[in-house]
Structure 1
Amino acid sequence: MAFQLKRRTLFSAGAGALAAPSLLAGLAGAQETMEKDGMAKGVDFKTLKLGSFKVTVISDGTRASDNPHEIFGTNQPAESVATLLEQNFLPTNGFVNGFAPVLVDTGSEVVLFDTGLGEGGREAGMGKLAEGLKTAGYAPDQVTVVVLTHMHGDHIGGLTEGGKPAFANARYVTGQVEYDFWKDAARVGTAAENGHKAVLAKVVPLAEKITFIADGGEVVPGISAMAAFGHSPGHMIYRLESDGRAMILTADTANHYVLSLQRPDWEVRFDMDKSGASASRKMVFDMIATDRLPFIGYHMPFPAVGFAERQDQGYRFVPASYQFDI
């Protein structure tokens, strides 16, 4: 929209405007920024500086779905969900879900958080992580650590490519509680059986290279784990800290920037422990709001970076703008 308006202004100003060096430089700068962030190349990514860390958010794609109430606020009247959506200028009959893996280059390690949907998502226009890494200037074999926040399919799908590990030189980090739950044959015959099968196919073959951690465990210097169970049995979030600056990767603690944040008590279909997930949302976002920390949420609107402000019954998502450019 902004670029289109600039083009109209340029051409309506007459030929003289074409000679204005500052105007041309501005357009060139805008184009350079678009290319740097991947927008002009068909793959969305955004790079931020956090102290000495280089943090890159990559879009694995988006998926449109109908009937938000069937996913969010399932313990509420449909009318209440529709009203909250309307109040936030959102449609009531559908929503768009994004997927945002994060790459953290510490200078000595290249750490990837979650792997998207992988090959299984590409027919539907997702599974873009591999392409996004390339566009952002990284090859899969440069990744030294892959962290799995939890083991739902949209986080582990990209672990393999063509039947082989997608990140040939990486070791892996994940929560012990999460792994033990999904690997257990007790999942057979339950609603978690498909997830169990996916973990057996994608994660278990990598077990020899996995480091299992618990609450407070260190991934690499400056990156530590925090338990936020509920969405899944061993769901973990991660704190990044470099040169006195900190950020939280909240993974799936909140899966919608309005319905999950403004109403953290509302139940979400995909939260396996509904009350536990609600408690984690309140704990995590109360910390983020109190300490005024930026966060990256896996399903927040791309580039999935923002802040949380206390509001009414919950929190308001405040998208980041130029905070990381100064």
Structure 2
Amino acid sequence: MPFTRRDFMAAGAGVAASAALGLTPRTANAQLTLGDITLDVVSDGSLTLPGGFIFDPMPKDALAPILEKYNLSADVLTPPCNVTLMRSGGRVILFDVGSGPDFTPNAGEIVTSLDALGVTPEDITDVVFTHAHPDHLWGLLDDFDDPLFPQASYMIGKAEWDYWMNPNTVDEIGEARVSFAVGAQRRLAAIEDAITFFKDGEEIIPGVAARATLGHTPGHMSFEVRSGSNAVMILGDCIGNHHVAFEQPAWISGSDQDGEAAAKTRVALMDQLAAEKTQIIGFHLVGDGTGYVEKSATGYTFVPGA
């Protein structure tokens, strides 16, 4: 069953009603330090997704006990949106920019969350994109379609840029994601003169290396932030939730554009992260998104906490 932006909006209606009553989602905030690098995890709100957006390709009998274990609905999921802010050497860097006001009603809180840290949009010197899905990109422009972060330079993986800016993508992406492609092209075109590209393995900022984690999108990137022997991996959506992605990383998820490639990426990355005990920040992982990957008897477990 394909899902359109209308499905997301309908699923979010209940959350929007709660917000109108003052029951707004908690603003997540965690802070990690690696030498002279400070990482703050701030909230862009949350999404409200049809459960089938993730679960439809999965074996229902095997899925049921996982849903019960994590007290999840098969019909509606409400993952957080955790944006990473990095401060180092006078630079103020955002990894992704959230949804803005046009994707789903319970997201688009990034400016408020930054303000709580005393950071304004004008303070941002660099924006680095994991990928160009709406909840990571659509917060790029303000209400006048001007860049919300006017002093920033922008960086994105070359393969990801090429995919979304290809005029054929709108026709080839599938009906359910046409609005994703149209929205990405409009926003990326607005910063075309201020963007630079990188490839897998490159150090894009001192202490930050790009890591290709393909499958969720064709050019999806994660980022290893390192100081000496300490490292944090900013995952984006290559590990997209704290439940089935960990319990059964080899299962194909409906949220991934190339399910087989994404599953292969997840399995390999889980092995590495668990073996190396690398701290992670996941855009949609529960709570503030920080924690570790731990090997379990049957798969993996997300261990939350900084």
Tell me which interval the TM-score lies in, with the shorter structure as reference length.
0.7 to 0.9
Instruction: Name the CA distance, whole Å, in 1 between partners of 2:236 and 2:26.
Output: 24
Instruction: Return the offset for 1:188.
Output: 3.0
Instruction: Name the CA distance, whole Å, in 1 between partners of 2:25 and 2:62.
Output: 40
Aligned to 1:188, the other structure's residue is in SS state helix
Aligned to 1:34: none
Aligned to 1:105: 87
Instruction: Name the CA distance, whole Å, in 2 between partners of 1:94 and 1:293.
Output: 31
Aligned to 1:283: 268
Q: Is residue 50 of structure 1 aligned with residue 31 of structure 2?
A: no
Instruction: Name the CA distance, whole Å, in 2 between partners of 1:241 and 1:78.
Output: 40
Aligned to 1:160: 141
The structure 1 residue matched to 2:198, chosen from 204, 213, 216, is 213
The structure 2 residue matched to 1:308, chosen from 293, 296, 299, is 293
> Which amino acid in the other structure matches residue 213 of structure 1?
F
Distance change in 2, residues 1:64/1:187 (3 Å): closer
> Which amino acid in the other structure matches residue 44 of structure 1?
A
Instruction: Name the CA distance, whole Å, in 2 between partners of 1:305 and 1:143.
Output: 22
TM-score in terms of structure 2 length: 0.86
Q: Is residue 127 of structure 1 aligned with residue 108 of structure 2?
A: yes
> Which amino acid in the other structure matches residue 84 of structure 1?
I
Instruction: Name the CA distance, whole Å, in 2 between partners of 1:212 and 1:314.
Output: 35
Instruction: Name the CA distance, whole Å, in 2 between partners of 1:231 and 1:220.
Output: 24
Q: Greater CA deviation, 77-86 or 156-165?
A: 77-86
Q: Which structure would you say has the larger Rg? A: 1
TM-score in terms of structure 1 length: 0.81
Instruction: Return the offset for 1:320.
Output: 1.4
Aligned to 1:161, the other structure's residue is in SS state coil
Residues 173-196 of structure 1 show CA distances to partners (whole Å, capped at 9, x for unaligned) of: 100001101111112323153222
Instruction: Return the offset for 1:84.
Output: 1.1
Q: Is residue 273 of structure 1 aligned with residue 258 of structure 2?
A: yes
Instruction: Return the offset for 1:114.
Output: 0.4
Instruction: Name the CA distance, whole Å, in 2 between partners of 1:72 and 1:253.
Output: 13
> Which amino acid in the other structure matches residue 107 of structure 2?
M
> Which amino acid in the other structure matches residue 62 of structure 1?
S
Instruction: Name the CA distance, whole Å, in 1 between partners of 2:85 and 2:161.
Output: 22
CA RMSD of aligned residues (A): 1.9
Instruction: Name the CA distance, whole Å, in 1 between partners of 2:108 and 2:204.
Output: 25
The structure 2 residue matched to 1:87, chosen from 52, 69, 76, is 69
Question: What percentage of residue pairs aligned between the two structures are identical?
Answer: 29
Instruction: Name the CA distance, whole Å, in 2 between partners of 1:188 and 1:96.
Output: 27
Aligned to 1:103, the other structure's residue is in SS state strand
Instruction: Name the CA distance, whole Å, in 2 between partners of 1:216 and 1:45.
Output: 29
Instruction: Name the CA distance, whole Å, in 1 between partners of 2:253 and 2:202.
Output: 28
> Which amino acid in the other structure matches residue 71 of structure 1?
F
Residues 113-133 of structure 1 show CA distances to partners (whole Å, capped at 9, x for unaligned) of: 0011012147x1210001111
Aligned to 2:47, the other structure's residue is in SS state strand
Aligned to 1:250: 235
Instruction: Return the offset for 1:93.
Output: 4.5
> Which amino acid in the other structure matches residue 277 of structure 2?
R
> Which amino acid in the other structure matches residue 78 of structure 1?
K
Q: Is residue 189 of structure 1 aligned with residue 171 of structure 2?
A: yes
Instruction: Return the offset for 1:243.
Output: 4.0
Aligned to 2:303: 318
